[in-house]
Structure 1
């Protein structure tokens, strides 16, 4: 530091002052040389003297500049060394601060890891004034307290005893219906007698049933023209005609009412009258088109339009009929249309009905 201070305070300022004094001296030497050269009779001698002054002045200035430059470089080196020393000191201080902070952090971690004994004091404090508890006494259960809530049906026949249990009633074992209504006694349905049909009605109904059964089973169903039926029996509904085998069972029943004889039924229709003429069969166009080949696999109809990409392919619209002459494993087919023959994709067509 002493050398740097000497350079800053003495050497460098002295060199600068020497350069300033040399500058003024060189100006005076230049004026002298110029006047001497003008006034001298021997120009050669004056020129040599001027050249000697110039060489000496240049050497003196060069020496002074070199000396000042050396002092400046030495000053810069010393300042650089001082800066490096300061940088090292700052780095050392930084490391020391980091070490101190790490020690503090470890000390804090250690304090957190140390088991801290909690003070043993009473945490649960009982209340000063305890609430007065009501004495318990037994109450009978009231099962009818919620009968008026909602849409339930209140059963008046159920009564509660003093002990709080439902009173029991004897139930007749003879009547046990699976479904019923609360509060209502089950009702036994009365037997209903079968209607009685006269003998003449039974014979006419059996003949009509046999004729209609034969007509339906032997021939296909056809629309039968409506015919007027006999009016129903007065006072009761006419039952459906039964099979002939049941006529013996019905004949054993005695008539309960004296009913008038029914009107006579119209004669049954003939089988020829029941059958309608069948519609004529549809006319199928069995003629092959003129452009169809003599032999082909099947006829197909196009589902989508297709435009040929090559010269040997077919172009067609939706609904075009194609006769397939050959199928290939890659999905393409070869066929003939009204416009010509060629290849087409197999997923653009479907079989023709």
Structure 2
């Protein structure tokens, strides 16, 4: 504001006064140049002096006009800034007036209002025991409920893929095999044993072939030097399953015994001299006999053949131990999906869940799509997270 006053009161009036003084000075210089040009004998010199005064006068006037214009523009800018300030102050005053009017209006309106009383309500209290969620079970969609919807046509044709006949295997297994009157049931033919080269027939292979002949009652291909015995008269044989003639493979011999190929072959003379009914039985250490229930009963007139002399190194052999039976606890369910072992401990959050430590065994009975499983552990059934366990190997 002080600068604006200085320009308006000092700088601009002084510049205007300098321009007025220069006007009078220029008039005097013009009169001098005119008289000098008329009186001078050397016109050329007088003209040059006049041109020099004119140039100097124009430069001085131009400079003074430029200073006055600069001061005047500066004064206009300052006045514009002051006008903006005044405008801002006026707008603030207008806003303050509007605010005051609104306050007065609200005060007047408030004096006309009545206090409203709201009736008290009971606050919302969360239940102490939230209801337990029932486990989700996926049920198949029943599309038959849509049969009577719309204008479609019902298909009453029989679907063979769903209504098949009874299982033939079940019919066969349910009806026992029995022969016709006066004729016994057909005994399945024995499987032909593999042919062993001559001179390498072991005691186990020779006796197994003879045992198959005596158990089936039908002649088998005879080897060199052993004639086929005639069929023995026997009463009708009870029905036997098809696997009765298939003998289980013998257990492996210990490592200190020689392989069957290294055993000395039986003397051919002894086999030729014995009659067909007096063939020696196979040693018990070389061949596992089938169960007694699978062998046909021996005839009454059948004499027990004498036992052969004991071979060396076979008296100390013990029968192979029976396979170890897997013992399961009594609380294991009859059917389950798999057996898993826990990786991390888990404490149950609900009453229908299981709590366990790391390394516990759980029998999974059901799996759900959300990752939870249902199983049995230590006579307790419940739910547990599936990412806490892995399959038990």
Flag the structure with more relative contact order, 1 or 2, with Cα contacts below 8 A and sequence separation at least 6: 2
TM-score w.r.t. the length of structure 2 is 0.29
Larger of the two Rg values belongs to structure: 1
